[in-house]
Amino acid sequence: MTIGKIQTFALLLIIFSCSPKQSDTPKTKESFKYEEFTIRQLQEGYSNEKFTIEEVVQSYLDRIAAIDDSGPQLNSVIQVNPDAIEIARQLDEELKNGKSRGSMHGVPVLLKDNIDTHDKMETTAGSRALLGSHPLQDSYVARKLREAGAVIIGKANLSEWANFRGQMSSSGWSGVGGQTKNPYDLSRNPCGSSSGSGASVSANLTMIAIGTETNGSIVCPSNNNGIVGIKPTVGLVSRSGIIPISFTQDTAGPMARSVTDAAICLNALVGIDSSDSKTLESDRKQEEDYTSFLKADGLKGKRIGLYKAPYGRNFKVDAVMDAAVEYIKSQGAEVVEIEEIGANEVGQYSLEIMLFEYKDGLNKYFQSLGPNSSIKSVEDLIAFNKSDSIELERYNQKFLEMAQEKTSLESEEYKETLMKMLKGIRQEGIDKVMNENKLDAIMAPTGAPAWRTDRTNGDSFHISSSSPAARAGYPNITVPMGVIEGLPVGISFFGRAWSEGVLLEIAFAYEQGTKHRIVPRFLNSNY
């Protein structure tokens, strides 16, 4: 063993000796019957009549009240569905009559509160400007989940406007929901912008949550909250009825405690939607059943690129990642080191594209709310925030103001910048790297352990690997990789467009062979 390997091994002993075991998890008020349940366990219980959907949904609602609203006060759920119990009863009646809608039948789900529902719940993006806003129809995602038999039990808190409002913001804060906390340590941050989605799944407040990502907003909160997150290829899941940032980069995706549950939910979400032209590109590229890729030997024979750019920023994360790489090699995969993916200027191109598309997308969304909405444009939103006593108390709205200055999507500046970005990160980025090295996927640490929430200075990111896949619109899956001083960190697998199946093979095999998921302990409950 070399000196470097000895040092790494010693560090890992220190890290894992400080990590809590699942059996160390303290009880919060009372034990939760469905803690760490999987979708398949839930379906088996329904089939064997061990419990009803109504009982399950009521238990989750009670846990939200005990953990989120009082007790640790996670602030991960922005509102609960007043019709959840009635929906559960209807689904129970269907089961009594011999009808099941499939594997999502009776599964409790939380939606990030930038995803429209046409019911008694509001859709606010966490903004006080949209309090009382009731969309005129379900989002495509909400409709697909209802058709699959899922019970939408509420809406999850988020970084307001999906964390693209202003500078020095704190992930997980919104004017409506306040600051979401990390269930492992309440003084630390859940990351965002799908903050409530990540925290609620990890804390067993829901079976599944749906997040959205433009760049990092599914994978980062999955990292910080010790869960699985799938950011699909843009176009695999429709964005209609989701408050937008970027037409080019936005997507919704499942967040779960296991790869299997995430894959089951992904099956329910995919589809071609005439209201979202990006989904037309998924025709004949989506898989019939994503769970068919869940193979224990999914690493065998794979050739995986190790993206080195995140290395050197946190030696503890480097050590855990090195251990993951060694395990992956031991399972029959070949690992090739990759130093760079795409040119440096791609990041600036992406920001410009987001600003152009943000203005266009928000204005169209506000118009979709009908004549009763008081906010009809980005200009109106900016004015509202200036007049509100809470919205700009700590954080500004610089990105909204920058977006307002942009011209239309018909401008040559926009079209040229979009072409440069996609060429730089696709043809000359991920596609080039994967083709030249004959790769099945690329891997990297998803992030560092959660930082302490700082409402004065904002977020303190140390490591992120989300940008290449996000800017390309390509898929990315993160799973728990290990624990550093009681805080989880994840590993990301990303690759070519429409390669979710291959990524699921790799992610599932790694998850099943390592099982790094741990139950949160709600430390620093007085924070």
Domains along the sequence of the chain with CATH: 41-514 (3.90.1300.10)
pLDDT score at 14: 36
Tokens 């999906």, located at residue: 162
User: What single-letter amino acid sits at 56?
Assistant: V
* Alpha helices, DSSP H, located in 122-224: 140-147, 160-163, 195-202, 219-224
Number of residues in the chain: 527
Strand-strand pairing, 208-213 and 108-112: parallel
Take residue 336 and report the two structure tokens written for it: 């090739």
- Average pLDDT for residues 284-308, to the nearest whole number? 98
Please name every residue paired with 482 in a beta bridge, in sequence order, or none if there are none: 489
CB distance 273 to 289 below 8 Å: no
CB distance 527 to 181 below 8 Å: yes
Please name every residue paired with 260 in a beta bridge, in sequence order, or none if there are none: none
| Secondary structure (3-state) at 155 | strand
**Residue from 217, 219, 199 nearest 209 by CA:** 199
d(CA 197, CA 270): 19
pLDDT in tens, 183-221: 999 999 999 999 999 999 999 999 999 999 999 999 999
Confidence of residue 526 (pLDDT cuts 50, 70, 90): confident
CB distance 437 to 303 below 8 Å: yes
Residues 6+ apart with CB under 8 A from 36: 204, 257, 519
What's the mean pLDDT when you consider all of the chain?
94
pLDDT in tens, 158-190: 999 999 999 999 999 999 999 999 999 999 999
CB distance 194 to 221 below 8 Å: yes
pTM for the model = 0.95
pLDDT in tens, 57-69: 999 999 999 999 9
pLDDT score at 26: 41
Would the CA dihedral through 527, 220, 352, 237 be positive or negative? negative
Residues identified as active-site = 112, 193, 217
pLDDT score at 71: 86
pLDDT in tens, 390-417: 999 999 999 999 999 999 999 999 999 9
Radius of gyration (Cα) for the chain, nearest Å?
A: 22
pLDDT in tens, 94-129: 999 999 999 999 999 999 999 999 999 999 999 999
